[in-house]
Amino acid sequence: MTNVTKKDKSPKGGLENNNMVCKQDKKSKIHAPIVEALKKTYETPSYQFHIPGHTRGNGSLPEFRKLIGKKALCVDTTDEFDGLGTLHPATGPIKEAQELAAKAFSAKKTFFLINGSTAGNLALAMALTKKGKKIITNRNCHRSILTGMIISGAEPVWLIPNRFEEWGIWGNVTPESVEDMLNKTPDAGMVWITNPTYEGVVSDIKSIAAVCKKYNVPLIVDEAHACLWNFNGHLPTSALKLGADAVVHSLHKTGGSMSQSSMLHIAENSTLDVDAVEKALKLLHTTSPSLMLLASLDSARANLESPRGRKQLERAVQNAKYLRREIDKLEHIHDLKPDFGYKTDITKVFIRDDRLSGKRLESILEIDFNIEVESASDAGLLILSNIGNTRADMQYLVKCLQIIDKTNYTDICYLEKKKYMPMLTPIIKMTLREAFYSHKETIPKEQAVGRISAEVIAECPPGIAVLLPGELITEEHIPYLMDYDTIEVIK
Ligand SMILES: Cc1ncc(COP(=O)(O)O)c(C=O)c1O
């Protein structure tokens, strides 16, 4: 669609001149093609008779327009219009932005995702696996990998990662366990590892990739939490440089893009069927992709590559080091450190208080100090040192932790009963796909032993599944079902 009246810059009579593209763009010649195309669209508005029907916010609720700003609504458009390019197939500025991202992340090919890394995992499962194919994957994988198997009909072969009992979290996957499983599963079609864990524990992907090469199976790495690694030497190395075939990155989690926006990368030397992945993505994606989300991916990549972005990331690393140093001085609060042969991502600071549960510590931080953290479990809580956090933010957090550390909480029973971490060997009775499409019923928990689960029962975090659809419920499961009165089972 072209602009109808270029001379009339404001069909509704009032789009002032604006400076939408960041000033740094001009100074350091950072190129962000989608951002630039969107800016042009904004500066040369047309009479629009197309979607989205709010037409630059005129049809929006005024309160909403005020909250997010008129400008945001002016640039809320979809692909195809005004020379913005298309997502499927990638054309114009969108194609160029994906190529720039591939270069920045050291990939052969990068796809922009607008339904998070979830869409990337689903597309990989759809494109690269099929009914009956075996996937060796860690039991604490994200549910999008399970959904991928429901869609494709592939079957999981579970790897149980190391467990760090004292911290109540699941740890790294060892190359030895991958090799052992490949030996036991000669028909395995793929290895799919989550790295790092939510709490930042890193597996030895280089060695795992070497094992996969030896057995001639592709390696996919779910790096949803690791999109910053290619931009700072203090952070671990991305699997894209360590021999993995494909990687997903949730740029929206830590990379600075808007919620829902992620990337899927195919590694330089990978022989994966890229066309099949692209076709699967086209099936999964909306046909009206948000240009704002796509521009936010383009701008996040440009920012991370820029001197300013690199500074922000270095500040995040230094802030994390500062926080860890200060925690080391405390009596009751401790942080998870690299130990026993695994590494951690320094920006993910998992802490615990030896007197309080993680959930209690989280409420104290929230209620008494107005601090929100990433997540909390019985054992501890996760703090992210982000590219957007200032040193002052971190100093405030440290001050609050110092106060908590000194406070006497013994008059209140804050320590909650720690749940045991389940380590149950699943008895698989039917595939995830079969279970998903089976008739189900809900029964009281007391009647569940001997039945086949129809639901995912997992604690998140630490996020390892106690039961998945298609697995037999045994007496051993009952202690982990305390929060459940009823359970959905296969009829
Ligand atoms: C390991 C892992 N993979 C994939 C995802 C899905 O990511 P997204 O929220 O970008 O869809 C998550 C989300 O939390 C995750 O933790």
The answer to whether residue 168 scores a pLDDT higher than 50 is: yes
Between 389 and 25, whose confidence is greater? Answer: 389
Residue 97 contacts residue 112 (beta carbons within 8 Å): yes
Q: Which domains does the chain have, with CATH numbers?
A: 1-84 (no CATH), 92-300 (3.40.640.10), 310-406 (3.90.1150.10), 432-490 (3.90.100.10)
Lowest-confidence segment of 58-72, 124-138, 440-454, 456-470 by average pLDDT: 456-470
CA dist., res. 119 & res. 281, Å (int):
7
The answer to whether residue 241 scores a pLDDT higher than 90 is: yes
The answer to whether residue 386 scores a pLDDT higher than 50 is: yes
Query: Which pLDDT does position 71 carry in this prediction?
Result: 95
Residue 282's H or E segment, with its range, is: helix 274-284
Query: Which pLDDT does position 221 carry in this prediction?
Result: 98
Model pTM? 0.91
Residue 336 contacts residue 167 (beta carbons within 8 Å): yes
Determine which residue's CA is closest to atom 7 belonging to ligand 1: 117
Q: Is 194 in the pocket of ligand 1 (CB under 6 A)?
A: yes
Pairing of strands 457-458, 246-249: unpaired
Query: Which pLDDT does position 421 carry in this prediction?
Result: 64
Q: Is 116 in the pocket of ligand 1 (CB under 6 A)?
A: yes
Which letter does DSSP use for residue 478 in this model? G
Cα→Cα distances 69→27, 57, 65, Å: 26, 9, 5
Q: Is 377 in the pocket of ligand 1 (CB under 6 A)?
A: no
Residue 124 contacts residue 246 (beta carbons within 8 Å): yes
Cα→Cα distances 475→359, 417, 418, 459, 479, Å: 28, 21, 20, 18, 8
CA dist., res. 172 & res. 194, Å (int):
9
| Mean pLDDT in residue range 247-267 | 98
Query: Which pLDDT does position 416 carry in this prediction?
Result: 53
Provide the residue type at 23 as one letter. Answer: K
Residue 106 contacts residue 246 (beta carbons within 8 Å): no
Which residues, 6+ apart, have CB-to-CB distance to 81 below 8 Å? 1, 41, 50
DSSP secondary structure string for all residues of 333-367:
EEE----TT-EE-TTEEEEEETTB-HHHHHHHHHH
| Ligand 1 atom closest to Cα of residue 115 | 11
Identify which of 7, 339, 29, 84 has the alpha carbon closest to the alpha carbon of residue 202: 339
Lowest-confidence segment of 300-314, 317-331, 414-428 by average pLDDT: 414-428
| Ligand 1 atom closest to Cα of residue 198 | 16
Query: Which pLDDT does position 37 carry in this prediction?
Result: 95
What are the pLDDT digits (tens) for 327-352?
999 999 999 987 767 899 999 999 99
First-to-last alpha carbon distance for the chain, in angstroms, is 53
Residue 171 contacts residue 161 (beta carbons within 8 Å): yes
Q: Is 357 in the pocket of ligand 1 (CB under 6 A)?
A: no
What are the pLDDT digits (tens) for 85-122?
999 999 999 999 999 999 999 999 999 999 999 999 99
Report the chain's mean pLDDT, rounded to a whole number.
Answer: 90
Q: Is 375 in the pocket of ligand 1 (CB under 6 A)?
A: no
Give the pLDDT band of residue 311 (cuts 50, 70, 90): very high
| Mean pLDDT in residue range 63-80 | 94
Largest CA distance in the chain: 75
At 19, list the tokens.
């400076």
| Ligand 1 atom closest to Cα of residue 252 | 10
Say how many Å lie between the CA of residue 250 and the centre of ligand 1: 7
Q: Is 140 in the pocket of ligand 1 (CB under 6 A)?
A: no
Query: Which pLDDT does position 478 carry in this prediction?
Result: 86
Say how many Å lie between the CA of residue 423 and the centre of ligand 1: 23
Residue 112's H or E segment, with its range, is: strand 107-113
DSSP secondary structure string for all residues of 165-222:
GGGTEE-PPPHHHHHHHHHH-TTEEEEEEE-S-TT-EE--HHHHHHHHHHTT--EEEE
CA dist., res. 224 & res. 453, Å (int):
28
Cα→Cα distances 91→39, 86, 88, 97, 99, Å: 18, 5, 8, 10, 11
Q: In the chain, what percentage of residues exceed pLDDT 70? A: 90
Task: Give the orientation angle of helix 33-43 with respect to helix 291-305, to 10 degrees.
Answer: 130
What are the pLDDT digits (tens) for 266-307?
999 999 999 999 999 999 999 999 999 999 999 999 999 999
Q: Is 262 in the pocket of ligand 1 (CB under 6 A)?
A: yes
3-state secondary structure of 53: coil
Query: Which pLDDT does position 17 carry in this prediction?
Result: 36
Give the pLDDT band of residue 83 (cuts 50, 70, 90): confident
Residue 71 contacts residue 20 (beta carbons within 8 Å): yes
Query: Which pLDDT does position 124 carry in this prediction?
Result: 98
Give the pLDDT band of residue 69 (cuts 50, 70, 90): very high
Task: Give the orientation angle of helix 291-305 with respect to helix 92-104, to 10 degrees.
Answer: 30
Determine which residue's CA is closest to atom 9 belonging to ligand 1: 116
Provide the residue type at 159 as one letter. Answer: L
| Mean pLDDT in residue range 139-165 | 93
Query: Which pLDDT does position 21 carry in this prediction?
Result: 40
CA of residue 259 relative to chain centroid, distance = 10
Query: Which pLDDT does position 411 carry in this prediction?
Result: 59
Identify which of 186, 198, 259, 204 has the alpha carbon closest to the alpha carbon of residue 223: 198
| Mean pLDDT in residue range 143-171 | 92
